[in-house]
Chains A and B, each alone.
Chain A
Amino acid sequence: MAHTRVDHAANAAAFIKNGERTHWHDQALWFVRAKRDRAVLTVSEWEQLRETAAQIKRHTLAHLADYLEQFEEQATRRGIHVHWASTADEHNAIVLQILREHGAQKVAKSKSMLTEECELNPVLERHGIEVVDTDLGERIVQLREEPPSHIVLPAIHIKKEEVGQTFHEHLGTAAGATDPKYLTEAARGHLRSKFMAADAGITGVNFAIAETGGVVVCTNEGNADIGVALPKLHIACVGIEKLIPRAADLAVFTRLLARNATGQPVTTYTSHFHGPVPGGELHIVLVDNGRHELRERALFRESLCCIRCGACLNTCPVYRRSGGYSYSATIPGPIGSVLNPARDPKRYYSLPYACSLCGSCADVCPVAIPLDEQLLQLRGVIAGKKYLPLSKRLMMKAASFVMKRSWLYNLSGKMARWWLPKLPRFLVYNRLNAWGRQRELPETPKRSFRELYRKRHEQ
């Protein structure tokens, strides 16, 4: 798996074969983006908030070791058990160990991109532990044995007819049922029984507060809260980049997160855990898994500021039209196109090219990560390592040769303007010309921009 290379364009080609569905996917995400814009406009200090959030995150990254120690000290003082994991494997082993010590057989899990990243579920399942993803979208993809296709909207790529079919097979809902209300009600009943039976609850974490030693989880459905309030054991898995210094900093992030993610003024539930249920245990697993290496590299450092709101996915013209799976990674979209090649440039060489450099991702980012700049620079890194396919490398070489010589560039333009309209179709629209697929080339202008400009200047 690790050695197969991800060809985003090829994966996207499969997705866009169904034009109607591509359009539907695009519109569903644009709807969320539009809701986000309306919510953002209600906060006149939005840009200052983003700047503040970015500074808090950058400050925390600079002092991360100190804040992690402070967090552990404060959490331990409250009777919370803190664990440290350098790698995904270690994280999974720690979680498994805690569950075994408590004799836990059934786990209610709420949304956590970290446990997706660590591939926790299959490890627990191999050891005979039942893991139920309790977020509705995650449950849908879990029943379909698919990964999430979006970091906030895991089932955004699935139509209600397909959800109806999945629920018919697994939950016994009426055949052909497609009403979201009916299907959600069925899932509510099904998951209630899972909550009642669970021996432990596992959650991700949105923010970990160094000053108080507590963690904050933001959800709309309430699944995380039910999942950890019923059993005696709560395990919270947190990437070390989720630290924030002070409880007061939560004001900044809770104001940004839900507005930017889904256009809500705040998530329905913003839960602050500073201890277990009475008579229970709260375990917090702090996970590095390569984050300290990202922190060392100036080009990628700021991607550790990400608060996983998903806005860059919703706004990205490529993500919207190619779907989450085309990235073949836990985190897709613009932020995924930085994080994945940063870790494994050979495997994910194509992701920085799944981008038109429009910059919309950076514009909507609540912590002002310059995603478009990072993607552009990553292209340089990947080209430098010769990870691009030969055809693309040769084309780049040729383009660079031409563009370095203005006489040659002008001549090529002239020739193209002369020849293109006269060439037979098969010579222009063929396998070699990716730009000629699914679209007609624009009409060839009679004069170049330069010529027009010169002419205008003379007048």
Chain B
Amino acid sequence: MNSKQEILTALRRTRLPDVALPSVPDELTTYADPLAQFRQVVAAVGGQTFDVQGPAELAAALRQLDAYRAAANVWSLVPEVPSQGQRWQSADDPHALETLDFLVAPGQFAVAENGAVWITDDQVPDRAALFITQHLALVVPAREIVQNMHEAYQRISFDKARFGVFISGPSKTADIEQSLVIGAHGARSATVLLVH
């Protein structure tokens, strides 16, 4: 008997009392102004948000960021924002992204309760870019906001996406004496641009 059979047989040997699969609690916390909640949580987790009126304003908003202005290599996956410096083609060896200073990537939607943005490899095929970049900006349509994670998972389908990630704020650690340090391994800053 191989290990799979061994494990399954052992598990089936003992029947446990059945517990019905529950549904979501009826009353969930919601926010009258989900965008305001989202902005507040992103700030609390060490990120920042900008509200821009239309995609044409994205570049101007980004120029307000020191990290963006200082970036030699900017890779933009958003048509309205130009890339700069070193150029990458999708499906290149991701190790080449080591020199990426600033990534501008589209997000599908934002979550009010925890400041997270949902991103899949549909829009960002090189998943390494999201984590190896020194700084990250996510562009999300302001109308694409959900209240909480229950609504979020209702919107997500894993049929196609091989990789999907919620990102909430910049990379961080508190592993040295519980002192919060922003920029552990991933992005040192995270900005969400809400496009109205």
- How far is A265 from B116 in the complex, measured between Cα atoms in Å? 9
A58 at the interface (CB under 8 A from B): yes
Closest to A44 in B: B29
Question: Complex Cα distance A422/B171, Å?
Answer: 63
Interface set, chain A 165-197, CB cutoff 8 A to B? 180-181, 183-185, 187-188, 191-192, 195-196
CB of A84 within 8 A of chain B? yes
* Given A44-B29, A55-B22, A90-B3, CB of A225 within 8 Å of CB of B158: no
The docked-state distance in angstroms from the alpha carbon of A296 to that of B16 is 8
Q: B: which residues have CB within 8 A of A?
A: 2-4, 6-8, 10-22, 24-29, 41, 44-45, 91, 94-95, 98, 111, 113-116, 125, 127-128, 130-132, 148-150, 152-154, 156, 158, 161-179, 181, 183-187
A137 at interface by CB-CB < 8 Å: yes
Residues of B with C-beta under 8 A to A195:
132, 185
Measured between beta carbons, the chain B residues less than 8 angstroms from A408 are: none
Chain B residue with minimal CB distance to A134? B185
Complex Cα–Cα for A42 and B28 (A) = 11
Q: What residues of B have a CB within 8 angstroms of the CB of A72 in the complex?
A: 4
User: How distant is the Cα of A59 from the Cα of B44 in the complex, in angstroms?
Assistant: 36
With contact pairs A271-B163, A295-B14, A296-B14 given, residues A180 and B179 touching in the complex (Cβ less than 8 Å): yes
A-B contact count (CB 8 A): 249
10 sampled A-B residue pairs with Cβ under 8 A:
A156-B178, A184-B183, A192-B185, A196-B95, A223-B184, A248-B153, A250-B149, A251-B24, A268-B168, A269-B167
Contacts of B156 in A (CB 8 A): 247
CB contacts (< 8 Å) of A48 on chain B: these are 25-27
Residues of B contacting A159 in the complex (Cβ-Cβ under 8 angstroms): 177
Task: Tell me what chain B mostly uses at the interface: helix, strand, loop, or mixed.
Answer: loop
Tell me which of A52, A222, A223, A264 contacts B24 (CB under 8 A).
A52
A45 within 8 A of partner (CB): yes
Contacting pair B128 A230 (CB below 8 A): yes
Distance A42 CA – B30 CA, assembled complex (angstroms): 11
Report chain B residues within 8 Å CB of A63: 18
